Amino acid sequence: MKQIGGSISTPRSIVIGMLVVGIVVASVGGSAATASPTATRLVTGLAGGSGSTVGPDRALYVTEGAAGRVSRVDPETGDVTTYATGLPPSIIGIGGAMDVEFFGGSAYVLVTLVGQDVGGSDVVGIYRIDGPDEFTIIADIGAWAMTHPPSTDFVVPTGVQYAMQGFRNGFLVTDGHHNRVLWVTLAGAITEIIEFGNIVPTGLEVRGDTVFIAQAGPAPHLPEDGKIVALRMRSGAVAEIAAGGRLLVDVELGRGKRLVALAQGEFTPGNPEGSPANPNTGELLGADGLGGFIVLEGGLNQPTSLELIGNVAFVVTLGGEIWRIDIA
């Protein structure tokens, strides 16, 4: 889910990859700065909105952590049908079915915060959906995390896996608590790609060899800590693309390589780490090409996930809503 927290160390130095910066800065701006988005509520009543993806049929697929379910949503009509059920539900208010992604025609679901370390008895990892109520666990990320702890401080040994994105013959997975990005193959092999300091990696976007990573930053999630960075997989170079979003939870690259980010919003200092942002303070943001963001839409209520279909943004919220925002 899109609530993150952890008490961890100082971030390590960012290596500026000028090639990556050139690609994004040259492609963002212009139309974003003059856009006047319009937001309409498409769906309400989901059992705790969390991650999302666009399926091969161009429909939205959304995880509902409280119900252990994945739902299919028609992006035009808002009709909701159950795609898969029977996944481990959240047991501490967050977690359970966290994100969903398609690979080779099959859906895969990222499940977190359901292990023994938080009072559960299920596997923390990636589940392949084999039928409406059937699945196969392809990777036990929780067990791997316990035998490969991060170098930073942590409270939950199995981690808090946040988002996943298809990459090569598997998935990239962010762990917002262990502050790292993993690569998990379809065969279940797990490799740490990069470990950060206390930057709380959240949403992912992949284009070729470049991985865009949203960073929520440590509590209280100050604007200067909310960043989008680009990681070049071959060289390992990391470039900061934009900063200034409060509690960034997702990032997408749209038409014309337009970089769009989702900020959950203002976080009250003193609230428990891992708590969501304050209600109705979330924002849909566009990278301005100058290292910052412009606001495309404000007043979003604890958004958790973002998908782009053409010039339309679909925003999932913690309260179980999906908003359609035209950003053309």
Residue 158 lies in a domain: yes
Instruction: Tell me the C-alpha to C-alpha distance, in Å, between residue 269 and each of 215, 222, 276.
Output: 18, 10, 12
Burial class (CB in 10 A: 0-12, 13-18, 19+), 45: exposed
Q: Higher confidence at residue 80 or residue 8?
A: 80
Residue 210 lies in a domain: yes
Helix, strand, coil tally for the chain in percent (to 5): 10, 45, 45
* Mean pLDDT for the stretch of residues 72-76: 98
| Parent domain of 178 | 18-326
Residue 227 lies in a domain: yes
> Considering the entire predicted model, what is its pTM?
0.90
Instruction: Write down the pLDDT at residue 216.
Output: 97
Task: Domain count for the chain, please give it.
Answer: 1
Residue 9 lies in a domain: no
Residue 107 lies in a domain: yes
Residue 2 lies in a domain: no
Cα 268 from chain centroid? 22
Note the pLDDT tens digit of each residue in 170-214. Answer: 999 999 999 999 999 999 999 999 999 999 999 999 999 999 999
Instruction: Tell me the C-alpha to C-alpha distance, in Å, between residue 165 and each of 30, 156, 310.
Output: 28, 23, 19
Instruction: Tell me the C-alpha to C-alpha distance, in Å, between residue 80 and each of 45, 59, 83, 281, 313.
Output: 10, 10, 9, 27, 18
Q: Which secondary structure element, helix H or strand E, spans residue 101, and what is its range?
A: strand 96-103
Radius of gyration from C-alpha coordinates of the chain: 18
Other CB atoms within 10 Å distance of the CB of residue 90: 25
Whole-angstrom Cα distance, residue 15 to residue 168? Answer: 24
Q: Where residue 36 falls among pLDDT bands split at 50, 70, 90?
A: low
Q: Where residue 12 falls among pLDDT bands split at 50, 70, 90?
A: very low
Q: Where residue 8 falls among pLDDT bands split at 50, 70, 90?
A: very low
* Mean pLDDT for the stretch of residues 120-131: 98
Cα 247 from chain centroid? 12
Q: Are 148 and 175 in contact (CB under 8 A)?
A: no
Q: Where residue 38 falls among pLDDT bands split at 50, 70, 90?
A: confident
Residue 141 lies in a domain: yes
For residue 287, the domain's CATH number is 2.120.10.30
Q: Where residue 328 falls among pLDDT bands split at 50, 70, 90?
A: confident
